[in-house]
Structure 1
């Protein structure tokens, strides 16, 4: 009889544990974006959509200093940290590319315009981890 009582207690507590774990996971996933990473002011970075205010260009050296810290993070986490990318492209084999413009250019008038403005391109592998960061000025 004690055995059945133990099973009954286990059945009552098991769902409670599951719900607690789900709640903890949900709360930790909804954390707010950081304000700073290294010397990069992420609020200013996120606020310079398209690089149109040239704020990102002034943070380029500081951004380069945090590249290794960014690598290996998931695309969703990078989106929270750096903000929505100016351009989001899908590549072969489920690769993704996030493009952030660093300086003002034709993209400020129309984001679909080809632009030679300097940009940073973040490449994500098939499982969504940031694997490579490059800089370029040629149009996409």
Structure 2
């Protein structure tokens, strides 16, 4: 019984220690993460790089996305265990800058029931 438990525990430790590093090409993760809600304008300047990295984000797990992009500004749960992570790229209202008619720009990542990113969209509201 102890042997089975030790083997099982060893396999679990081995699986968790094999995390692959996630690196988005031409994308500075630390700058992105430091600009909460897009208030500093850094995320908006990185929009072209983000558009190029969208295909690399697809297929990442929730944990990998959080490691690369940081904690989402908002998240939503839908039916069939789908999740959406929303990162604000440009949101003047959230930052206390009232601007009439200004667009809000968001990154929306949809995760399926298995926790993998299936859709990555940048949209304006």
Q: Same fold (TM over 0.5)?
A: yes
Q: Is there any run of 5+ residues in structure 1 with no aligned partner, and where?
A: 1-10, 110-114
Query: Out of 126, 132, 137, which is 2:113 matched to?
Result: 126
Partner of 2:59: 72
Query: Out of 63, 70, 78, which is 1:83 matched to?
Result: 70
Maintained 8 Å contact 1:94/1:125: yes
Partner of 2:10: 20
Which protein is bigger by CA-based radius of gyration?
Answer: 1
The TM-score normalised by the length of structure 1 is 0.72
Partner of 1:107: 94
1:92 is the counterpart of 2:79: yes
The TM-score normalised by the length of structure 2 is 0.80
Structure in which a larger fraction of residues adopt helix: 1
SS in structure 2 of the partner of residue 37 of structure 1: coil
- RMSD over aligned CA atoms reads 2.4
Query: Out of 44, 47, 57, which is 2:44 matched to?
Result: 57
